[in-house]
Amino acid sequence: MSLPHMSESTEMYLKAMAELGDHPVAIARLAERLGVTPVSANEMMRRLGEQGLVTHTPYKGVTLTEKGREAAANVLRRQRLWEVFLFEHLKIEWAKIYEFACSLEHATAPEVTEALAAFLGNPKVCPRGNPIPDANGGFEPLGGRSLRETAVGKTVRVRAVNATATDVLKYLQDKGILPGQTLKVLEAAPLDGPLTLSVNGKEVALGLSMAEFVIVE
């Protein structure tokens, strides 16, 4: 057992696919998220296909195989355990934990992962509100809907924040849009314009692409 160790690049592609939710992921979206040209992402998908980690249906998108899904879940497990450690124990700013954990995740042996999980008390969720897969890749998919699709006038509670870019996380942090926060959608501007929210008594403007990353219930 124990795979011949995947490269950081491979792990990031798999994780990105898992983060981009259920299924067929357009290679262009992957490329965008990973900061790589579509041609490069295509090449990489060919390699991952040869390794049996993904299947690519041209013009439809790319899907994780079971093997790929397990590997991705394991990366997410490491990522989110480190997020817990960085936030709860090292007291690192919420907006930065994703980025720091994203480096550590690739440098973490299975034995360290499990010892870390035990040290942290086997948490089920990370500070961004996302579930932490168990050691076997088991996963309870996050319920809730995107704030983007929330009707004007509704009051909702933030369950998770799916953003990964530090500057986006920083903006959300500054505006108080964190897991557990209750907020109200005051207005949705036309033409895909921003939402206006009420958060902690303050009005906050939030573009739709950012709102998409905020999962509410």
Partner DNA sequence: TGAAATAATAAGGTCAGCCATAATATTTTT
Partner DNA sequence: AAAAATATTATGGCTGACCTTATTATTTCA
**Stretches 12-20, 103-111, 155-163, 203-211: which one binds a second copy (CB under 8 A)?**
103-111
Contact call for residues 163 and 172 (beta carbons, < 8 A):
yes
Choice between 27 and 101, CB closer to DNA:
27
CB of 39 to DNA, least distance (A): 4
* 110 neighbors 137 (Cβ within 8 angstroms): no
DSSP-based three-state secondary structure for 64:
strand
The Cα 40–Cα 182 span in angstroms is: 41
Binding partner at 17 among DNA, Mn ion, a second copy, none, C-beta below 5 to 8 Å by kind: none
> What are the residue ranges of helices labelled H in 128-207?
166-175
| Nearest residue to 73 via CA among 130, 151, 156, 112 | 130
Which of 2, 5, 22, 59 is in the footprint of DNA by CB under 7 A? Answer: 59
Which of the choices Mn ion, DNA, a second copy, none does residue 115 contact, using the CB cut-off of 5 to 8 A by kind? Answer: a second copy
Residue 104 or 142: the one with the smaller Cβ distance to a second copy is 104
Alpha-carbon Rg for the chain in angstroms: 18
Place of tokens 């007291």: 91
Binding mask 158-187 for Mn ion (x = CB under 5 A): ------------------------------
Q: How far is the CB of 103 from DNA (least distance, A)?
A: 14
Distance CA 100, CA 66 (A): 28
Q: Which of 55, 56, 65, 96 binds DNA (CB under 7 A)?
A: 56
90 binds a second copy (CB under 8 A): yes
Q: Is 151 helix (H, G, I), strand (E, B) or coil?
A: coil
Q: Is 184 in the site for DNA (CB under 7 A)?
A: no
Q: How far is CA 131 from CA 12, 40, 42, 169, 196, in A?
A: 18, 30, 29, 18, 28
Judged by beta carbon distances under 5 to 8 A according to partner kind, the member of a second copy, DNA, Mn ion, none in contact with residue 35 is: DNA
Site for Mn ion in 24-63 (CB under 5 A): none
